[in-house]
Structure 1
Amino acid sequence: MENMKSPFKGIIKDARGRTACYKDDWVSGLCSGLRILAPTFYIFFASALPVIAFGEQLSRDTDGSLSTVETLASTAICGIIHSILGGQPLLILGVAEPTVIMYTYLYNFSKGREELGQKLFLAWAGWVCVWTALLLVLLAIFNAATIISKFTRIAGELFGMLISVLFIQEAVRGVISEFNIPKNESSKLEKYQFQWRYANGLLSVIFSLGVLFTALKSRRARSWRYGTVWLRGFIADYGVPLMVLLWTALSYATPNEVPSGVPRRVHVPLLWDAETVYHWTVIKDMGKVPLTYIFAAFIPAVMIAGLYFFDHSVASQMAQQKEFNLKNPSSYHYDVLLLGFMTLICGLLGLPPSNGVLPQSPMHTKSLAVLKSQLIRKENGKEREGMHRPKGEQLGNLWKNACCVYRNGCACTRCFSK
């Protein structure tokens, strides 16, 4: 109740904290040199691949009303806005599985109503986004984000586990679907014959497991026993994007006898093509939605606003965990306010909104973290002990591990892997 009596208090406090470090963030980022490219490429692919997968799922569940083009466009627009204006720029935004699920329900509801149908689905979803944006703005104004201090670490980890399970579920469903004939496709085509469907499914298993296994292995290249220091560091920094490019190139290395469409590829039309240009003018059809359904859009908006508020705040909290030892203050209230405006923009453009996502946000912070180590040598007679000591009191466990590493015979600055 005290927070509601002081509207805008949290937003003003967050804005002042962000203003104090805004210039330094840009200067530090621009002066970091080529080192910034490694986490940039890593997070780019770690964010783009799920968005592409969810876009394909949206296209399948909404009969093509939304597709990968819209999810990528939403992620790009919201990501740029948040990186420039956001209070917590480490937060990664994207179209996540909960958004896909909610939009699927919205589509199924509108498809079953003659007054809406598939034609006015995006217009009605736009009204849902308008109500959602209004609720998010009110939550920010009345300092609802103070409740994030009540969320323990286990709450964030459990929510992250839920998102991970949804990721795995969609991955398994996607691989299984490669063995089947897509909806509205003719089974008489050569590429949909049993032998080619079977080959396509096996290739999807090989490529998906290959990308996963090699990407995870490359991230641990610094601990390898072979190769030079420079080579191991290069593979650890750029291994994930390189593996994605490598396996993508392998997917094109098929014999001439294989029919076109094996392996299957995601259809991504250009933003200005006829099948996608409608989304940019969906605001014109929002006036055609019956008044009853405009007010009815408030019901799903309440659920989406609560989901976005929780998801966005927890992702921001996980991106600034104590062990990261960040100096800049948090800005939960201001970010929820900005999320409301971004949701409004996406709704008016006919795009699914983007919000803070797990696990990409803490992955982003971890990929940018640098453990500054200091070698301390203490000579006391014949006793000599060396330890890597990371800067910051929050890294006590890593300090203990460093002592063990040194006693096992290694005293170099490469003992710590991100």
Structure 2
Amino acid sequence: SALPVIAFGEQLSKDTDGTLTTVETLASTAICGIIHSVLGGQPLLIVGVAEPTIIMYTYLYNFAKNQPNLGERLFLAWAGWVCIWTAVMLFLMAMFNAAAALNRFTRFAGELFGMLITILFMQEAIKGMLSEFSVPEGKDQSLPIYQFQWVYINGLLGIIFSMGLLYTALKSRSARSSLYGAGWLRNVIADYGVPLMVILWTALSYSLPTKIPSGVPRRLFTPLPWEPKSLQHWTVAKELFSVPLAYILLAIVPAMMVAGLYFFDHSVASQMAQQKEFNLKNPSAYHYDILVLSFSV
């Protein structure tokens, strides 16, 4: 699950002007994943960043940066209060057995939610490819790599690498039924084909002619975790009480939406994992998993 987390981190970095990056998404996913795999009732569930979460954080950032008493400086602290209220609400949901409402949802509702997530993935992929044909915001357009011909080539390379990765990844998934190669090799390709294709196409992106300027194609920017700009993100707890009381209480409103999103997303994923065709031996643990999720938030 590291690949979508890295992609979400890049999107979050663009939407929050670098306030949150891949460093934070990877760290949070790793911590929450370890907690749930050790303590969760259904440890195979993937806990991490999803597209609805990115959309919510983007709205929070756009709201906070336009508030004179918050701004970009206190955005993370205010988002911390949103997470605190979200954790409290999820804890209360677990205590009062709110997951019992899942009995009213059919499998069709769960599949619809899964389709929504898929559409959001596709939407962001298309937006990402189109953005490769334009100059990033805040960049000096007089630089050579932002001249029309290089921006156009950057966009074409983005489409070639994206579609090539998609095609080869899909083909590798069906390698198990192929007539070529040894059985163990086909199984390895089918199981690990997607990350292998990511490595392959990344290597191909470095094999371009030397006449192409550095920066074409564009690459993922990730700040080092020990840089001063990144270190301040690990000390947000010290600024929690710098947020005005009115905004602390106002954080309850987005927290209600985030709690509802997390509750529905996690519970529906648990329900979908409990289908009869999977032949799971352990019973469901909906209420307990929501409790663990509340401590992870």
TM tier, smaller: over 0.9
2:224 maps to 270
Task: Tell me how far apart the structure 1 counterparts of residues 72 and 192 of structure 2 sit (CA, whole Å).
Answer: 43
Within the candidate set 59, 74, 81, 1:105 is matched to 59
Give secondary structure in 2 for the equivalent of 1:88: coil
Q: How does 1:233-382 map to 2 (within 5 A)?
A: 233-343=187-297
Between the two proteins, the alignment pairs up a number of residues equal to 297
Within the candidate set 124, 128, 136, 2:82 is matched to 128
Task: Tell me how far apart the structure 1 counterparts of residues 17 and 223 of structure 2 sit (CA, whole Å).
Answer: 15
Task: Tell me how far apart the structure 2 counterparts of residues 190 and 256 of structure 1 sit (CA, whole Å).
Answer: 15
Within the candidate set 178, 182, 187, 2:141 is matched to 187
Cα displacement (A) at 1:240 = 1.6
TM-score, normalised to structure 2, is: 0.97
Cα displacement (A) at 1:148 = 1.5
Task: Tell me how far apart the structure 2 counterparts of residues 232 and 61 of structure 1 sit (CA, whole Å).
Answer: 40
Cα displacement (A) at 1:49 = 1.7
Cα displacement (A) at 1:167 = 0.2
Task: Tell me how far apart the structure 2 counterparts of residues 227 and 61 of structure 1 sit (CA, whole Å).
Answer: 45
When structure 1 is superposed on structure 2, of 228-237 and 215-224 the one drifting more is 228-237
Cα displacement (A) at 1:312 = 0.7
2:111 maps to 157
Cα displacement (A) at 1:279 = 1.0
In the alignment, does 2:30 pair up with 1:76?
yes
Cα root mean square deviation, aligned = 1.0
Cα displacement (A) at 1:183 = 1.0
Task: Tell me how far apart the structure 2 counterparts of residues 235 and 58 of structure 1 sit (CA, whole Å).
Answer: 31
Structure 1, residues 150-173: CA drift from partner, whole Å, max 9, x if none?
221101100000000000000000
1:90 maps to 44
Letter in 1 for 2:286: Y
Letter in 2 for 1:196: W
2:170 maps to 216
Provide the identity percentage.
70
The structure whose Rg is larger is 1
Letter in 1 for 2:293: L
Task: Tell me how far apart the structure 2 counterparts of residues 230 and 280 of structure 1 sit (CA, whole Å).
Answer: 44
Letter in 2 for 1:251: S
Task: Tell me how far apart the structure 1 counterparts of residues 35 and 177 of structure 2 sit (CA, whole Å).
Answer: 38
Unaligned 5+ segments in structure 1 are 1-46, 344-418
Structure 1, residues 16-67: CA drift from partner, whole Å, max 9, x if none?
xxxxxxxxxxxxxxxxxxxxxxxxxxxxxxx222111211111111111111
Structure 1, residues 80-106: CA drift from partner, whole Å, max 9, x if none?
111111111110111111111111111
Task: Tell me how far apart the structure 1 counterparts of residues 154 and 178 of structure 2 sit (CA, whole Å).
Answer: 34
Give secondary structure in 2 for the equivalent of 1:53: helix
Cα displacement (A) at 1:231 = 2.8
Within the candidate set 110, 132, 137, 2:91 is matched to 137
| More relative contact order, 1 or 2 (CA 8 Å, 6+ apart) | 2
Within the candidate set 1, 4, 7, 1:53 is matched to 7
Unaligned 5+ segments in structure 2 are none
Letter in 1 for 2:280: L
Give secondary structure in 2 for the equivalent of 1:89: coil
2:158 maps to 204
Cα displacement (A) at 1:320 = 2.5
Task: Tell me how far apart the structure 2 counterparts of residues 230 and 136 of structure 1 sit (CA, whole Å).
Answer: 45
TM-score, normalised to structure 1, is: 0.70
Task: Tell me how far apart the structure 1 counterparts of residues 37 and 203 of structure 2 sit (CA, whole Å).
Answer: 31
Letter in 2 for 1:212: L
Structure 1, residues 161-198: CA drift from partner, whole Å, max 9, x if none?
00000000000001111111111101011111111111
In the alignment, does 2:136 pair up with 1:178?
no
Structure 1, residues 273-305: CA drift from partner, whole Å, max 9, x if none?
111111110011111100011101101111110
Letter in 2 for 1:155: A
Q: After the TM superposition, which segments of 4 or more aligned residues of structure 1 sit over 3 Å from their partners?
A: none
